Amino acid sequence: MTYEKVAEFDNDNRKRDEFIKEHLTRKLRENKVNIPFINIKIDKKPNIKEIEQMCQFLIDVIYSHPKISLIVPPKVTLPEEAEVYEKYDSFRTFLTALSDILESYQSDVRVGYFIPDYIPRTKFFELIEYYLNKFGENALIILDAGGKRFSAGSYSDVSLVHRKMSFQNIESYAIYLFNHKGRKKSGREAPSEDLLALINGVNLVGPNHKVIRLPRNVAGREGTGKIFSEEDFLFYPENIAPNVKEFQNFYNFHIKGKSKEKKDQARDIFNDIKINASAILLSSNATETLSNLKRDEFKDVLKTIAKNRQNILQQKSLESFT
């Protein structure tokens, strides 16, 4: 989204209504939106009136929708060459304007404490402190992984969040990680980044909003899909997956049609079911679940992590947040 688009919608009700129909009504009906994520692209520094107009549009048109129950501050995206402090300052300016406007509203919609991927470690505590002072301690902290794997750096951000909340003696919070790369496209087995995140203190894992779909029949696409194994929390190429027969039975029983696209669909559904089942087991009894893993070298590493993080492996329910 850009300021020019917001100005266009504000001056044309028909275009505004088309935007609502396409990006809210239809996607909400199809359950394609759970947490509204807005990316505002900026090429030049906007003035305060433009910022306020954009924030007002977000509140009136998106956050006030009757089926939206969580406000997520927008991600402000500057050109790649912009300095880190410029990105942080721009986000804080938008966040302050949004917060000031929200104070004039009477609404039960809660605010998610969104932390974009470009926020430097030196500013983490300051940003969380702002959220806590403005919106209270009962927090859902939303971490943007920037399309990278959890093991590439997000684990450090999770550690910072837990440390800050520990300093504040706050227990009623949850961490939601999204926009992370969950699976590697290589020919070898690879650990599930989703479960690594859950083991390391993340409570909820969401989708990657930077999905890049390859055209059909692109050379090299065959063989990129992997099957998740509950035995050791790894993704395996289909030709060496220990549970390949289980997947094939699932595919033959549940999916009609034998095209490449149908098999990809079956693999995604199968993996999601297995990952969620493993996440439930981890949340209920992490130590026992990890003790039952088949691969000893992987099991020992995870058991050590679990032992050191007993206090954060218990999944927090969103019931305390709503």
The full DSSP string for 179-209 is S------SSS-EE-HHHHHHHTT--EE---T
> Residue 198's closest CA among 139, 278, 304?
278
Q: Report whether 305 contacts 199 (CB < 8 A).
A: yes
Lowest average pLDDT, out of 137-151, 257-271, 292-306, goes to 292-306
Q: Which two tokens stand for residue 137?
A: 């301690």
Please state, rounded to an integer, the average pLDDT across all residues of the chain. Answer: 74
β-sheet bridge partners, residue 142: 114, 176
Contacts 24+ apart (CB under 8 A), 240-245: 240/189, 242/294
Rounded Cα distance between 4 and 7, Å, is 5
pLDDT value for 130: 94
pTM greater than the 0.75 cutoff: no
**Residue with more model confidence, 169 or 223:** 169
Token output for 305? 């992590």
Question: Cα 213 from chain centroid?
Answer: 19
pLDDT band at residue 92, thresholds of 50, 70 and 90? very high
**148 has pLDDT over 80:** no
